[in-house]
A and B are shown apart, each in its own frame.
Chain A
Amino acid sequence: MFSNLQISRTLVKNPVRMDSYKKSVSNELMQEEWAIIQEAKNNPAKFRPLYNRYYEPIFKYIFRRTTDESLTAEICSKVFLKSLQQLNRYQFKGVPFSAWLYRIASNEVAQHYRNVQKNRVISLEEHQLGDLIDKMEETDHQNYRNALIHALDELKETDVQLIEMRFFEQRPFKEIADILNITESNAKVKTYRILEKLRKIIIAKSQQGQAR
C-alpha cells in the first residue's frame, strides 16, 4: 500500500514541467487570451493567434490517442471548429484557454472511438512505464511491466485519461485539473485512487494465475 510519503513523491514528479506550465500560462497570458477570445466572439478571424498557438499541442494530444496522422488532422480540425462554434459560450474562469481546448479534444477523441467502435490507443514511452513502476514501489520491472500494461486495460476511460496525462504526458496536476474541470486536490486524490486500483488489479491477476 502507499504511504502518504510515497504519494507526495508522486505528486512532485517532474518539477521542470510544472514550472513550464506555470510560466506558459501566466496571468498575463490568460488575460491576453481572454481579450483575444472576446474579440473573436464578434470576429472569428481574430481567433487566428489562438489557433496558431495551440494547433500543435492539441495535434500532439490527439496523435498520442490515435497514432494516425491524417485521422489526427481530421479530429484536430473538428476541435477547432467546435471551439469556434462554442466560443460565445466560453467564459473566463481563471483557467488557461488551452484547458478548454484539451477538453474538447478529449471529447472528440472519445466520440471518434464510439463511432468507429474500435479500441482507443494509449501511447507511452518505455521509460515512463518504468517511472510508473517506480512510483508503485516495485523492483521487478520486467514482470511488473507486463502486469501493469494488462492492468491498464482494465481501467475505465476516465481513469486511463488521468494516468496518461500525469505519467505518460507528464502534465502537472494543476493542468490536469484545469483540463478535467476539477480541483487540483481532487486530481491528486483521483490519481492516488487509480494507482491503488491498478495495484489491486495486478495482485488479483497474480493470485488468479497462481490458483491455476
Chain B
Amino acid sequence: MKLNNYNINLNPKEPSGQQIEKHMDFDALLGQFADNPPPKAPSKVRWLYYAGGAVAACLIGFMVYTTVISPSGPEMTTTEYLATLPYINPPIPAVQPTFASEKLSATKGGVYEYENGSRLIVPPAAFIDAKGQTVQGDVSIRYREFHDFVDFFLSGIPMEYDSAGIKYQLESAGMVEIYAEQNGQRLNVAPGKKIDVELVSEIVVPAANRGRVPAYNIYRLDTERRNWVYDGVDDISLLEEEDLAESTDNEASIQRKLDGELARIQRIEAKELAAIEATIPKPVAPVRPQRADASAPVFNFSFSEDQIVYSEDVTQEERANIDQAQAALTDLRRQYENTIWQIAASNADFNRQAAAGIDWDDMKLRQLNERDYELTLINGNNEMKVTVNPVLMGEDYDNAMAKFNATFKEYERQLAEREEQLADQKQVLEERLAKERAIAELEFDQQIKALRENGQDVAATDAVIRQKVLNRFRVSNLGVWNCDRPLPPFMVRVKGEFIDDESNEYAHHTAYLVNKDFNTVSRLYTGKGTNVVYSNTADNILWLVTKENKLAVFRPEEFKRINKDKDDYTFVLNVVDKAIETEDDVRRILQF
C-alpha cells in the first residue's frame, strides 16, 4: 500500500535462513575491508589509542589471572572455562579412536571401504596441494569414525553448537574424520569436487518409533571459528538387521519384524517416487546474476575467436570433439557477452601484481560450480590458476536481473505445473503405501497384544533401541563431519560441587555428562556453583578424568537420589582405581 511518506507492506514473506545464508560471504567482506580500510587517526590520537590499548591489555591480563589462575578469584562459567581449552581436547591423549589408512589413486579416484561397510567415493582429480596444484599419483586416505559417547569423549571433539548466540548440544547419528596426505603433506579437496560419504552407524530411538528414521543434519567442524557449521540435511535410511532377529517371538523380535516391513515399504516408496519423478524432467533453475563488487579485482576478456579452424589432418573423431568445444565456446559467448570476471574471494593468496605484469598468450576457463569458474592464464610454459565469478555492472546487471526474474517466474510456473501433473500419481502411491503400513502396524499391535495376554509384560514403548542406519552426504572439505541434530535443553538444573568419596575436591576439571536416551556427551566445568542440567526421565552418567588418569564416576542410580527441590548438590564421585590405558577400560567403567 503506497501512502504519502511510507509504503506499507502487509504480511511480508521473509526469506528463509537458507536463502539468507546464500548472501553470507565473510571472505568477501574481508576483501572489501582490505580495500577500504578505516581512515587512520592523526598521530596524537593514535598515541592515545596505543596507550588505551596498553591499559586494556593489562586489564585483560589481570582478568585472565583472576579468573583462570587465581584459585581465590571469581568462578567461571562452563563457556568461559571451555574457551580457555584447545577446541579439540582429547582428555586422555594416549587413548583415542584410531585412524584407518588406505592408498587411493588421486588421478583416477576410487572407492575406499571401511571395515564396517562405510564408504568414501572419491572422484578423479579430487585433491589439491597447499599451492593449489591438482595432485597426481597415490594419496593416503586417513579415516576414522565416532559412534557413541565413549568415542566422542575420547576424541575430545566438542558436541556443543552455537547458533546465533544460543548454545545447543548436538546429538549424533555418527561422525567421521577424513584426511588425505601425500608425502606427509596434508591435502585439500579441489574446488568443485566433492567426496561422497556413506557412513554406516547406529542411532538411538524409542522402541515405539522403530522403523521411523528421525531427521538429522550435516555439520562440519570449523576449528577456526570454534563451532559447527551447518551443511545441509543428512540423507539417512534404515539398514536391515537380519542377524539380530531372534528365533523366539518376544516384543523385541516382533518390533524388529515391523521395523523390517516398514523399511521395505520405505524403500519401495523411494524407488517408485523416483520413477514417478523421472516421467517428467525437472526444470532447471536459472542462475541468479551477480553484481560486480567495485572493490574486487576483475578480468575482462571476450570470446571473440569463436571460429575454430580445422587443420587438414584432423580425424573424424577429433572433429566431433572440436565441434563440441566450438558449441561450448559459442554458448559461453552468448551467455557472457557483457560479463566481467571478478576474482573470487576464495583466492586469498592471489598475486594481482604478478598477474598484471605478464602478457598472457592464452587462457582456459572451466566451470567448477554454479558460481565459480577456474581461469587458467597461460604464457608459454607458465600457468596461473585463479577462481573467478562472472559478474555484471550497471545496466547489464539490471537487464540480467530482469531476465532472471522473468525466467525464474517461468521456472516456478513449470515447477508448479510439474508438481500438479505428478500429484495424482504420488497420491495413489501414498495411499497404497499408507494401507500397507497400517496393515503392518495392525499386525504388530495384534501380536504384541497376544504376547501380553500370555503374560509377557514388557514395556516396549518406554524402552530405547539402537537401529543401524546409512547416512549419505557429500563433503567439500577434509576434516570432521557430523550427522546430528540440536537437542532441546534438559529440564533439571542444580548447582554442583564435585568431590570424591575421600572428600578430595575437583574444582577445576572438565566433567562429562551423558543421557542414555541421546547419543552425545556434554562437557561442563566443575567450578563451584556450576549448573548441571540433566533429564530426570532418563538414565544419566557423569564422570571426570583425574590427574592420575583415572575416571571418577557419578552413576545413574545416584542421579535418581538427587533432591530436585534443592538448588545445590554435591556430586560425590567414585574414583575407579585403574589408570586408563585402552578404550575398553573406558567402556567397561562407563557402561550403563
- Which residue numbers of A lie inside 8 Å of B, CB to CB? 23-25, 28-29, 31-32, 35, 38, 44-45, 47-49, 51-57, 59-60, 63-64, 67, 69-70, 72-74, 76-77, 80-81, 84-88, 119-126, 129, 149-150, 152-154, 160
**Contacts A67-B12, A70-B401, A86-B38 known; A59 to B20 CB distance under 8 Å?**
yes
B9's nearest neighbour on chain A, judged by CB, is: A123
Kindly list 10 other residue pairs between chains A and B, CB separation below 8 angstroms, not including A59-B23, A122-B7: A52-B24, A52-B227, A53-B165, A69-B15, A69-B23, A74-B291, A84-B38, A119-B4, A121-B7, A160-B6
**Contacts A124-B9, A126-B11 known; A28 to B26 CB distance under 8 Å?**
no
11 A-B residue pairings within 8 Å (CB atoms):
A28-B77, A49-B227, A51-B24, A52-B24, A52-B227, A55-B23, A77-B28, A85-B36, A123-B9, A124-B10, A154-B5
Contact B5 A60 (CB under 8 A): no
Interface size for B (C-beta < 8 A) is: 46
Minimum CB–CB distance from B226 to chain A (whole Å) comes to: 8
Contact A44 B60 (CB under 8 A): no
Contact B38 A88 (CB under 8 A): yes
Contact B3 A57 (CB under 8 A): no
Contacts of A67 in B (CB 8 A): 9, 12
Contacts of B17 in A (CB 8 A): 56
B490, CB-defined interface residue at 8 Å: no
B83, CB-defined interface residue at 8 Å: yes
Question: Chain B binding site: helix, strand, loop or mixed by DSSP?
Answer: mixed
Contacts of B460 in A (CB 8 A): none
**Of residues B1, B3, B5, B77, which shows the largest number of chain A Cβ atoms within 10 Å of its Cβ?**
B5
Provide the bound-state CA to CA distance between A59 and B36, in Å.
22
B394, CB-defined interface residue at 8 Å: no
Contact B49 A28 (CB under 8 A): no
Provide the bound-state CA to CA distance between A63 and B23, in Å.
13
Contacts of A49 in B (CB 8 A): 225-227
Contact B29 A121 (CB under 8 A): no
- In the complex, the 8 A-B pairs of residues with the closest C-beta atoms, listed nearest first: A153-B3, A73-B23, A85-B38, A123-B12, A123-B9, A59-B20, A84-B33, A121-B7
Contact B2 A121 (CB under 8 A): no
Contacts of B56 in A (CB 8 A): 38
B318, CB-defined interface residue at 8 Å: no
- Which residue numbers of B lie inside 8 Å of A, CB to CB? 1-12, 14-15, 17, 19-21, 23-24, 26, 28-30, 32-33, 36-38, 49, 56, 60, 77, 79-80, 83, 162, 164-166, 224-227, 291, 401
Minimum CB–CB distance from A50 to chain B (whole Å) comes to: 10
Provide the bound-state CA to CA distance between A48 and B225, in Å.
7
Minimum CB–CB distance from A19 to chain B (whole Å) comes to: 13
Which listed residue (B2, B79, B224, B227) contacts A119, Cβ 8 A? B2
Contact B166 A51 (CB under 8 A): no
Contacts of B12 in A (CB 8 A): 63-64, 67, 123
Contacts of A35 in B (CB 8 A): 60
Provide the bound-state CA to CA distance between A73 and B24, in Å.
8
Minimum CB–CB distance from B80 to chain A (whole Å) comes to: 7
Contacts of A72 in B (CB 8 A): 23
Minimum CB–CB distance from A129 to chain B (whole Å) comes to: 8
Contact A121 B23 (CB under 8 A): no
Contacts of A87 in B (CB 8 A): 38
Contact A119 B26 (CB under 8 A): no
Contact B38 A81 (CB under 8 A): no
Contacts of B162 in A (CB 8 A): 53
Which listed residue (B30, B49, B80, B83) contacts A44, Cβ 8 A? B30
Contact B20 A120 (CB under 8 A): no
**Contacts A56-B20, A80-B29, A84-B29 known; A122 to B6 CB distance under 8 Å?**
yes
Contacts of A153 in B (CB 8 A): 3-6, 8
Minimum CB–CB distance from B484 to chain A (whole Å) comes to: 18
Contact A76 B23 (CB under 8 A): yes
Which listed residue (B9, B19, B77) contacts A121, Cβ 8 A? B9
Provide the bound-state CA to CA distance between A74 and B32, in Å.
13
Contacts of B3 in A (CB 8 A): 119, 149-150, 152-153
Contacts of B29 in A (CB 8 A): 51, 77, 80-81, 84
